[in-house]
């Protein structure tokens, strides 16, 4: 799962709409998935901080995280 937390409003990848998740089967080794391709930040977006990405692999029932959950917090300003 990959979740974008913007001030306690949650967006779920890959659709970034209501609850969603990646449903593929992955090999045992490390797998890299591009969530958002590179892009130019649009002008006029003001500033923000404390925006956080959460990522992790869960069991089929989505009740446990397998391994470690990753987080990345960021912000921006004009």
- Residue 38's pLDDT is what? 86
CA distance 40 to 42: 6
Say what the pLDDT of residue 70 is: 94
Residue 12 pairs in a beta bridge with: 3, 17
From the CB of residue 14, how many other CB atoms can be counted at a distance below 10 Å? 13
How do the pLDDT tens digits run along the chain, 78 residues long? 999 999 999 999 999 988 999 888 777 888 888 888 888 878 888 899 999 999 998 988 999 998 899 999 999 888
68 close to 18: Cβ distance less than 8 angstroms: no
Residue 40 is predicted with a pLDDT of 80
Predicted local confidence at residue 42, as pLDDT: 81
**Per-residue pLDDT, 34:** 87
Phi, psi dihedrals of residue 5, rounded to the nearest 5°: -105, 110
Give the residue from 78, 19, 27, 77 showing the smallest Cα distance to 57.
Answer: 27
């Amino acid at each position: 799962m990959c979740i974008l937390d913007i001030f306690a409003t949650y967006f779920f990848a890959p659709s970034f709409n209501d609850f969603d998740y990646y449903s593929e089967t992955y090999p045992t080794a490390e797998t890299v998935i591009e969530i958002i391709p590179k892009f130019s930040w649009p002008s006029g977006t003001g500033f923000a901080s404390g925006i956080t990405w959460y990522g992790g692999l869960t069991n089929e029932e989505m009740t446990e995280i397998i391994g470690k959950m990753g987080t990345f917090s960021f912000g921006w300003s004009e």
